[in-house]
Amino acid sequence: MKMLQPRRFHPLKALWVLAVLAAFFAYTTHRDRAKQASKWVYDGQIFGSTFGIQIVAGDLKTPDFEAIKSDIHTLLAQLDNELSTWKTDSALSQFNASASLAPITVPAHLAELASLSLEISRASAGAFDVTFSPLFDAWGFGRTGPKHVPTPESEAAARALCGYQLLSVTSSNQLQKAVPGLQIVFNAIAPGYAAQLIAELLRARDLTNIYVDVGGEIVVGGHNATGGPWRIGIDRPLYDADPGENIEAVFAVTDGSVATSGDYRNYVLASDGTAYSHIFDPRIGKPTTSRVASVTVVANSGTWADALATTLSVMGPEEGIPWLAQHTDAEALFIMREAENTFREIATPGLTERTGYEPNLEPFSAQAR
């Protein structure tokens, strides 16, 4: 029988093995730390709401990130000073307060948003309109509050001051009113516009893996911190639910914008129990009362996604889906309210391919999904 002899101990080989293990441990530790440190986050408040920004960049240094934060802060402060309806000294508030019918010079961002808004208003035959501020206030959805159903007389008086045809962009950075009481609100387009500008600022600095959320309107690029597409949750439109409390669907987006418009957080109940949304149908001068609970749009531009979400909420799927296919390359998800807590989904044909959305074609209750 052959006896097994113990192997001789080789100090150099043992040291070599230990060195390899140490190097592997150092590499994996550094890799994991780098992955953790690769996501840079900045958040705050704007337009009476919030913003949140994520940047995935392993080689970004803290001084560079602080400079980026400063640039974003400067941009948002400028937009707030120009477009806010809550600040009485903003450029928009001053334009709204003016009774002049002569052209008024305004900041470039304000003029650009007015021009874009009028473009969408014309394309949608008035389903989108940023001049309905007097009606918004008449129902108590603006700063005047509280929310209420106005009298027919006050509603008619407010409606006479509304209409995109009463606003003109006369020349570079000049706006003109056709009636003294005309006012503008950019609530349905400004958050997406701000998100788009921030995304452009970041891309100009060669930062391509980004997530920008302004007031719930989102622009993304590249991949998230795990290397996959950005996953964006779509809220189930339950009345008074907190954002993110009930997720209805999840979109996986690499490059694009996502915006949602819904009737479930800002509404007024009439004495007969009818819920009137803060989303107005400018064509009839009243809040929408359709079964559209929410519309989420995926588009190339944050500005367009934001405006289109409101436009399609007014139109509804029957009118909105053919119109969307004719005028844009965006996709949309309509969530229809069959009963208070029962919903049905209607999606445009290309939504699944663009976002990985998994359709639910049957009506479902709030507890069933």
Residue 125: partners with Cβ closer than 8 Å, 6 or more residues away: 283
* Side-chain half-sphere exposure of 152, counting CA atoms within 13 A: 0
The 10s digit of each residue's pLDDT in 237-251 is 876 667 767 888 999
Q: Taking residues 109-125, report their average pLDDT.
A: 97
Query: Rounded to an integer, what distance in angstroms lies between the CA atom of residue 306 and that of residue 311?
Result: 9
φ, ψ for residue 15, nearest 5 deg: -65, -35
The 10s digit of each residue's pLDDT in 16-62 is 544 544 444 444 444 444 444 489 999 998 888 899 999 999 899 99
Cβ proximity of 140 and 147 under 8 Å = yes
Cβ proximity of 280 and 286 under 8 Å = yes
Residue 298: partners with Cβ closer than 8 Å, 6 or more residues away: 251, 253, 256, 257, 258, 305, 330, 331, 332, 351, 354, 355
- Res. 298 pLDDT band, cuts 50 70 90: very high
**DSSP secondary structure letter of residue 8:** P
Residue 125 predicted with pLDDT over 50: yes
Cβ proximity of 345 and 339 under 8 Å = no
- List domains and CATH numbers for the chain: 39-85+187-222 (no CATH), 98-177 (1.10.3980.10), 229-369 (3.10.520.10)
How confident is the model at residue 33, as a pLDDT?
41
How confident is the model at residue 272, as a pLDDT?
57
CB count, 10 Å around CB of 349?
Answer: 9
Bond preceding residue 146 cis, omega within 30 of 0:
yes
pTM for this predicted structure: 0.84
Cβ proximity of 82 and 92 under 8 Å = yes
* Side-chain half-sphere exposure of 67, counting CA atoms within 13 A: 8
Task: Locate 319 and state its tokens.
Answer: 């009118």
Cβ proximity of 181 and 158 under 8 Å = no
Q: What is the CA radius of gyration of the chain?
A: 26
| Chain-centroid distance, C-alpha 313 | 14
Name the one residue in this structure whose structure tokens are 């479930």: 264
Query: Rounded to an integer, what distance in angstroms lies between the CA atom of residue 198 and that of residue 214?
Result: 9
Cβ proximity of 178 and 168 under 8 Å = yes
CA angle 312/317/318 to nearest 5° reads 125
Task: Locate 301 and state its tokens.
Answer: 């531009």
Residue 103 predicted with pLDDT over 70: yes
How confident is the model at residue 300, as a pLDDT?
96
How confident is the model at residue 6, as a pLDDT?
43
Residue 265 predicted with pLDDT over 50: yes
Using DSSP, state whether 222 is helix, strand or coil: coil
Mean pLDDT check: name the lowest of 81-95, 203-217, 261-275: 261-275
- Res. 5 pLDDT band, cuts 50 70 90: very low
Which has the higher per-residue pLDDT, 264 or 141? 141
Which of 184, 216, 204 shows the shortest CA–CA distance to 113? 184
Mean pLDDT check: name the lowest of 55-64, 176-185, 186-195, 271-280: 271-280
- Res. 280 pLDDT band, cuts 50 70 90: confident
Distances (CA, A) of 332 to 44, 85, 114: 28, 29, 24
The 10s digit of each residue's pLDDT in 71-86 is 999 999 999 999 998 8
How confident is the model at residue 330, as a pLDDT?
97
